[in-house]
Structure 1
Amino acid sequence: MIDWQRIAQLRDEIGVEDFEEVIELFLAEVEETLGALQDAPEAELEAMFHLLKGCALNLGFQGFADACLRAELAARNGDFAKVDRSAVKQIYDASRHDFLADAPA
């Protein structure tokens, strides 16, 4: 669910000092978008899932990124019955929990 190699790479790229700030910004942006996602009109879903997918990939939340990609593609194809907003949120919550429990210091 978490790509720990990507997380280590990001930490090495930006430095340990800035890593925590990046994590806080990432979590805040994702949680804000997830909150807006629940009531978003169908016309906005593809772009929202695309944004979430990009954030997830940057930080190594692979399972969450995969769920966002599936939802993004379903929204793009107009197959809104396959866009499960609550399932995406649940995957994020599980990923966040795993990350915070095992994140490198």
Structure 2
Amino acid sequence: MTTIDWRQLEQLQSEVGQDAFQEVVDLFLDEVDEVIARLDAAQPARALEEDLHFLKGSALNLGFKVLSTLCQAGEKRAAQGQTADIDLGEIRAAYQTGRDELVAHSASAF
């Protein structure tokens, strides 16, 4: 089972063109890597909520469907102050799986 909506990526690539698409993917990976690395249930609930909101939006743009779903659920929990109920390991794993799929799939295939 794939964790990426490849049609979403194909649509994005057709909208921005091949050169810009690769830049978008590179920027996505850099920014999301940074946010994933700082996720911590001990951080203030509002900060965690903001990070998960950012991740959700970024994931939706690049078709990371599993990651976006997990981040949406975590964002809601953080908004309610329930940070201990958020499985950050599952979020990290979903990102890593999607990241691995994306990197393995050549951008030229789009």
Q: Which of 88, 92, 97 is the equivalent residue of 1:94?
A: 97
Which blocks of at least 5 consecutive residues in structure 1 are unaligned?
none
CA distance in 2, matches of 1:13, 1:98: 22
Identity of aligned residues (%): 37
- TM-score, normalised with respect to structure 1: 0.92
Residue correspondences, number: 105
Q: CA RMSD in A?
A: 1.3
Deviations 1:39-83, CA, capped at 9 Å, x for gaps: 633231111100000000011111110111111011112222221
1:68 and 2:71 are equivalent in the alignment: yes
Q: Write the mapping of 1:5-84 to structure 2, written as runs, cut at 5 A.
A: 5-38=7-40, 40-84=43-87
Higher relative contact order, structure no. (Cα contacts within 8 Å, ≥ 6 residues apart): 2
CA distance in 2, matches of 1:64, 1:103: 21
Which blocks of at least 5 consecutive residues in structure 2 are unaligned?
none
Runs ≥4 residues deviating over 6 A: none
Moved more, 39-48 or 28-37: 39-48
- TM-score, normalised with respect to structure 2: 0.88
